[in-house]
Amino acid sequence: MTSKPAEKKGSFSRVCLMECDSNGRLPAKLIVKYHNTETLFYEHARNVAGVPRIFLSRPLTVDDRKGIICMEHLEGAHTRPVYENISIEEMKSRPVIQAGNGYFKKAADTHSKTYSNDSLGAGNDVNASGTRPVTPTSRKSHDAFHHLLVHGDLYSSNILWQNGIVKAVIDYQMVHYGNPVEDLVRLLTTGLRVSERKAHTTELLDYYRRQITSLIPDSEGSLTVDWLWSCYEKIFPMAGLWAMISLHASFESATSHAPPDSIKLKTVVEKIHGIATEIVEMFS
pLDDT along the chain (284 residues), means of 10: 41 52 62 87 82 87 81 87 91 63 48 42 36 35 60 88 86 86 91 94 90 78 85 93 92 88 95 96 87
CB 34 within 8 A of CB 173: yes
- The rounded distance, in Å, linking the Cα atoms of 216 and 222 is 11
CB 50 within 8 A of CB 103: yes
Nearest to residue 181, comparing CAs of 135, 117, 130, 250?
A: 130
SS3 of 169, please?
strand
Query: Which residues have C-beta within 8 Å of that of residue 68, sequence separation ≥ 6?
Result: 56, 57, 58
Predicted local confidence at residue 59, as pLDDT: 87
Angle at 88 between CA 86 and CA 93, to 5 degrees: 85
Partners of residue 45 on adjacent β-strands: none
Predicted local confidence at residue 195, as pLDDT: 95
Q: Name residue 242's amino acid.
A: W
Phi, psi of 212 (to 5 degrees): -65, -45
Phi, psi of 146 (to 5 degrees): -70, -10
Domain ranges for the chain: 11-71, 88-282
Measured over the CA atoms of residue 204, residue 251, residue 52 and residue 47, the dihedral's sign is: negative
Phi, psi of 162 (to 5 degrees): -145, 110
Measured over the CA atoms of residue 217, residue 220, residue 225 and residue 227, the dihedral's sign is: negative
Predicted local confidence at residue 94, as pLDDT: 62
Predicted local confidence at residue 110, as pLDDT: 45
